[in-house]
Amino acid sequence: MLRSFTLLFLLSCSFLAGADSWTQEANFGGTARHAAAGFFLRGKAYIGTGGTFSVRKKDWWEWDPSSNTWTQKADVGSSGRSGAVAFAIGTKGYLATGFSNNYLKDLWEYDPVANTWSQKADVGTAARHYAVAFELDGYGYIGTGNTGGAKKDFWRYDPSANVWTQMDDFGGSARSSAMGFSVNGKGYLGMGYGASYLSDFWEYNPSANSWTQKAAFGAGTRSDGVAFASCDRGYVTCGVSASVDKNDLWEYDPSSNSWTQKTSFPGNGREDPVGFSDGTYGYVGTGTNIFSEFGDFYRYNPDCTILPITLSDFSALVINKQVNITWTTASQVNNSFFTLEKSLDGKRFETLTKVDGEQFSDAPITYNVTDEFPFNGLNYYRLKQTDEDGSYSYSNVIHVSCFALQNEIVVSPNPVKSDAVIAFNQNGDDADVEFSFYNASGEMVLRNCYSLLNGVQQINLDLHSLQSGIYFMNITSLHDNRSVKVVKVD
């Protein structure tokens, strides 16, 4: 059976198994440590900084899920730190605060394509460590923490303007070593340590800039644990309570304001691990207890990752600047329909279309989709499958670069205020490529060089230094010389 639809969708993925279960991945590439920081960005996991019992670290590591391998990347800043926070916005990662020889309030931006760190505006008015950070609606948020005393201030970072704005203070009491995440357009922060171990839990509404207290953490008091969000729910694991290191896992459902205990983290009970999500899977690793530093690394498969279908094929093909996608189910049980969802950043998804499924089928069914107008740049997608009883599950989040066909150069956005994404096909062999900007007088005003592989490329360029005006950007390599107009605005 073949069904055809027209919508925005591309690439391939596989559906996940083992709901509410953990899978051990390759141990973290650096030395075992605690109080590290990390995030998931453009299909890769990143972990670094942190400390051992005697040394603070500044190394930075990338994990590739496809090969289950770690690769060391550029160090963070000039000195080691522990107790930092990290988050990702769009195509960049950010790491801030922590403790070195003193409390820190610096912010660093990571470009995974160039493998470079750039220092940005300092965080707020006070240095700190053991704060909470998350991304929400394209902004970074940092709050609470400790700088010789517990804090409750809360700050928002705008990456396009490189500016911090103080928001309403956190709704609970001052604290450090709390846990937080963002899901469904809201931020969540709670637990931690103030004058004592805490269990309260709060929701932040960015549109109203207000806090609302929610159901207390399901296991009572907790600090120094880790939290992540997946499939419209939040998760908290590890940490310490009453001097006991924990490894239990708790799921928070915002729709019912309730906590449910899930399958425990399989490693030792521990404090100060690092954790984050790719939108579907959660990842937790490193940490410490009174006896050991840990370097193990695990993937959590939430309940939402099981679909009552068997997917045997998922593929995409570009034809005449359109994308044709097919997916084939080997079987379907109680399947009502599929919902295709799309995102520009892999975190905030919108519904594209609903595709009817087969309630019961043990024969292969192939669905065909044509993307007539793919976005320029990265496109993120997931497939939501809904049962006859209304329950639903998600596929993993996938992404693809869909731009720069043939000799086209795409600059996004254009006009540009600050950062721009340059997308194009690198023709010929792997080569060193120069990006040079010329003003209306023909003077070169900016130049960047990268070593790039053959094929479709996406480069992030910082254009803050350019004055407003019209520029011509040349892309030059041994096999190529192309130009495109770029408009810079304030």
Task: Sort 460 into a burial class: Cβ within 10 Å, 0-12 / 13-18 / 19+.
Answer: middle
> In this structure, what DSSP letter does residue 208 have?
T
Give me the DSSP letters along 312-349: EEEEEEEETTEEEEEEEEEEEESEEEEEEEEESSSSS-
CA distance 232 to 85: 22
Q: Which of 247, 127, 122 is nearest to 176 (CA)?
A: 127
Task: Sort 317 into a burial class: Cβ within 10 Å, 0-12 / 13-18 / 19+.
Answer: exposed
* pLDDT at res. 10: 32
Give Dmax over CA atoms of the chain in angstroms: 69
CA distance 394 to 83: 33
Token pair listed for 107: 């912010």
* pLDDT at res. 392: 76
CA distance 323 to 371: 5
CA distance 109 to 120: 7
CA 28 to chain centre: 18
Amino acid at 336: S
> In this structure, what DSSP letter does residue 75 have?
P
CA 268 to chain centre: 26
CA distance 224 to 202: 17
Mode of pairing for the β-strands spanning 378-387 and 392-394? antiparallel
CA distance 465 to 119: 14
Residue whose tokens read 């075992």: 32
- Catalogue all structural domains in the chain, each as residue range(s) with its CATH number: 2-11+307-401 (2.60.40.10), 21-304 (2.120.10.80), 409-488 (2.60.40.2550)
Backbone angles phi, psi at 387, to 5 degrees: -80, 170
179-183 sheet: strands from edge to edge? 179-183, 186-190, 201-205, 210-214
* pLDDT at res. 310: 66
Distances (CA, A) of 146 to 177, 220, 450: 8, 22, 40
CA distance 132 to 247: 20
* pLDDT at res. 400: 62
Task: Sort 126 into a burial class: Cβ within 10 Å, 0-12 / 13-18 / 19+.
Answer: middle
Token pair listed for 290: 């009174």
Burial 257-274, CB ≥16 within 10 A → b, else e: eebeebeebebebbbbbb
pLDDT by residue for the chain (490 residues), tens only, comes to 333 333 333 333 333 345 899 999 999 999 999 999 999 988 899 999 999 988 999 999 999 988 999 999 999 988 999 999 999 998 899 999 999 989 999 999 999 999 999 999 999 888 999 999 999 988 999 999 999 899 999 999 999 899 999 999 999 999 999 999 999 889 999 999 998 999 999 999 999 999 999 999 999 999 999 999 988 899 999 999 989 999 999 999 999 999 999 999 999 999 999 999 987 789 999 999 988 999 999 999 998 655 556 666 666 666 666 667 777 776 666 678 888 787 766 667 778 778 887 766 666 787 777 777 666 656 677 778 787 777 777 776 666 666 545 566 778 778 888 888 787 766 666 678 889 999 989 899 999 888 776 666 777 788 888 999 999 999 888 777 888 899 999 8
* pLDDT at res. 477: 81
Beta strands of 144-248 (E only): which ranges? Answer: 154-158, 163-167, 179-183, 186-190, 201-205, 210-214, 226-230, 233-237, 240-241, 244-245
CA distance 252 to 201: 10
Q: Which of 298, 294, 299, 296 is nearest to 51 (CA)?
A: 294
* pLDDT at res. 8: 32
Token pair listed for 18: 């083992």
Beta bridge partners of 366: 2, 328
